[in-house]
Amino acid sequence: MRPNFLNRTLGLGGVMLVSLALSACGDDQQSSSQQGGGQQKPPVQAEVMDVKAHDVSLTKAYPAQVRSNREVTVMGRVDGVLEARHYREGSMVEKGDKLFTIEPAPYEATVEQNKADLQSAQAEAYRAQRDAERYARLYKQNSVSQQQRDQAQADLRTAQASVAQAKAALDSAQIDLGYTEVNAPVSGMISLSEVNVGNLVQAPEELATITPLDPIEVRFSLPADDAFALRRQRQQGDADVADVAVLTAPDTKSATHDAMQLKGRLDFLGSRVDESTSTVQAEAVFENADQVFLPGQFVRVSLPNVMRYDVYAVPAVAVTEGLKGPQVYVVNGEGKAEARFVSLGEVAGDWQIITEGLNPGDRVIVSGIGTVSAGDAIDAQAFTGKVPEPQNNAGENPSQEPDAQGGEGTQGAARDTKEATGQDGAN
């Protein structure tokens, strides 16, 4: 009985093993069939652009500090007690406005004394003139000697010199008297008084400072490459565009208001490169009619039209981050996607400048990057994306359409790809 039971058990087990083996074979065939179907993946539709050189305009921003090159220190130029201050501290004053009065009485007395000295010298000169004329007539009549005539002429010249000295002394005294009234040499905002009324002023002594606020000047340093580009634009007669500058105060930005800005022009571009920083000194001038910006304030200066000539640029969304760094997909001669590692330059709006890795005529895939893999067959479509053609206004106008998705380099490209496909776009 036991052998028969064992035989039946072994028979049932053999049948089950054979069934499992057949099932496994079926699964392997199904898996192989699925894999074979993956190799027959249909071509991926994607927009493709041909690589060619463009002139691209960049917006470059630099840290800067506001200055007022016409700031003036008002000085007391004569000694005396400060009798009066004629302005409100911190107010705007106009050129020629009376600011201070230093006691004028001693200087008025000096003027009167010098006037009297001048009158005395003039009287002496009159007497000497009459004597010289008389001795000249007598000499012709042989009534006086030549020595007497010459002495009379010398006395006349001495008297005339005394008149000149008296006039000079009077002029000096009148100038000092004029300095007792201190007027504004320029228009601008005046500071606190450095000397209180009633104190003794001893020349030269600082009394106040006047700072013109319209226009204002901003000095900054820009890289040598940017300075070279600006000079090239100027030489090509494009200075009106190249010299446009925008001043921004970042600290003034709020939830409901953009940062305050002023528009001006590049007024100075240095003639040498700083060897330690490889930068060039520059200065821009801005109209500050509302007098909001003040000297010493830290700001940012933007030059919205710095050109890069004959560069390769692709939409930033076409750039992804591969295992070895930034890459783009190009369509090779077989019509398949091929990863091409590239070196990145600057960003111009929605465009990424490529410095190495692309050649003229390369066909770069610029859409659906998240669905493309190396080796995929590509159904190439004409490039009709919303990213604008790189032109002179690329730096000013990143997108022609309000809803255009523009990236800033590889990070922006990865973000846009992820939003569009739910994938990170990296290999």
- What CATH number is given to the structural domain containing 148? 1.10.287.470
In angstroms, rounded to a whole number, what is the distance separating the alpha carbons of residues 55 and 241?
Answer: 14
Residue 422 predicted with pLDDT over 50: no
Give the count of domains, the chain: 4
Confidence of residue 13 (pLDDT cuts 50, 70, 90): very low
The full 3-state SS of 266-312, as one line of letters, equals EEEECCCCECCCCEEEEEEEECCCCCCCCCCCEEEEEEEEEEEEEEE
pLDDT, residue 390, reads 55
Confidence of residue 62 (pLDDT cuts 50, 70, 90): very high
Residue 418 predicted with pLDDT over 80: no
User: Do 161 and 136 have their domain in common?
Assistant: yes
In angstroms, rounded to a whole number, what is the distance separating the alpha carbons of residues 300 and 332?
Answer: 45
**Which string of b and e fits 89-100 if b means at least 16 CB within 10 Å?**
eeebbeeebebb
**What is the pLDDT of the chain when averaged over all its residues?**
82
Residue 413 predicted with pLDDT over 90: no
Structure tokens at 158: 């001495």
Q: Do β-strands 298-315 and 53-67 pair in parallel, antiparallel, or remain unpaired? A: antiparallel
Of 256, 287, 308, which residue sits at a domain end? 308
Residue from 383, 386, 384 nearest 404 by CA: 386
User: Do 269 and 147 have their domain in common?
Assistant: no
Q: For residue 395, what is the domain's CATH number?
A: 2.40.420.20
In terms of C-beta density within 10 A (0-12 exposed, 13-18 middle, 19 or more buried), how is residue 313 classed?
Answer: buried
* Lowest mean per-residue pLDDT among 24-38, 75-89, 115-129, 136-150: 24-38
Residue 182 predicted with pLDDT over 70: yes
User: Do 388 and 333 have their domain in common?
Assistant: yes
Amino acid at 302: S
Q: Is 372 inside a domain boundary?
A: yes
Structure tokens at 208: 């106040």
In percent, the amount of the chain with pLDDT more than 70 equals 81
Helix axes 105-140 and 146-179, enclosed angle (nearest 10): 160
Q: Is 408 inside a domain boundary?
A: yes
In angstroms, rounded to a whole number, what is the distance separating the alpha carbons of residues 258 and 217?
Answer: 22
- Give me the mean pLDDT over the 364-377 stretch: 88
- Give me the mean pLDDT over the 384-406 stretch: 45
User: Do 257 and 289 have their domain in common?
Assistant: yes
pLDDT, residue 389, reads 53
User: Do 96 and 189 have their domain in common?
Assistant: yes
Q: Backbone phi, then psi, for 372, in 5-degree steps?
A: -105, 135
Of 191, 211, 231, which residue sits at a domain end? 211
CA 354 from chain centre, in angstroms, equals 25
- Cβ atoms < 10 Å from Cβ of 265: 14
Domain range enclosing 170: 104-179
Residue 107 predicted with pLDDT over 90: yes
Give the tens place of pLDDT for each residue, 307-360.
888 899 999 889 998 888 999 999 998 889 999 999 999 888 888 899 999 999
Q: Which residues contact 207 (CB under 8 A, 6 or more apart)?
A: 74, 75, 76, 82, 99, 100, 182, 193, 194, 195, 201
pLDDT: is 402 or 218 the higher one?
A: 218
- Give me the mean pLDDT over the 366-395 stretch: 73
Q: For residue 200, what is the domain's CATH number?
A: 2.40.50.100
- Give me the mean pLDDT over the 236-253 stretch: 86
User: Do 89 and 192 have their domain in common?
Assistant: yes
pLDDT, residue 39, reads 55
pLDDT: is 8 or 368 the higher one?
A: 368
Q: Find which of 29-33, 38-42, 386-390 is predicted with most confidence, using mean pLDDT.
A: 38-42
User: Do 90 and 129 have their domain in common?
Assistant: no
pLDDT, residue 404, reads 38
Confidence of residue 387 (pLDDT cuts 50, 70, 90): low
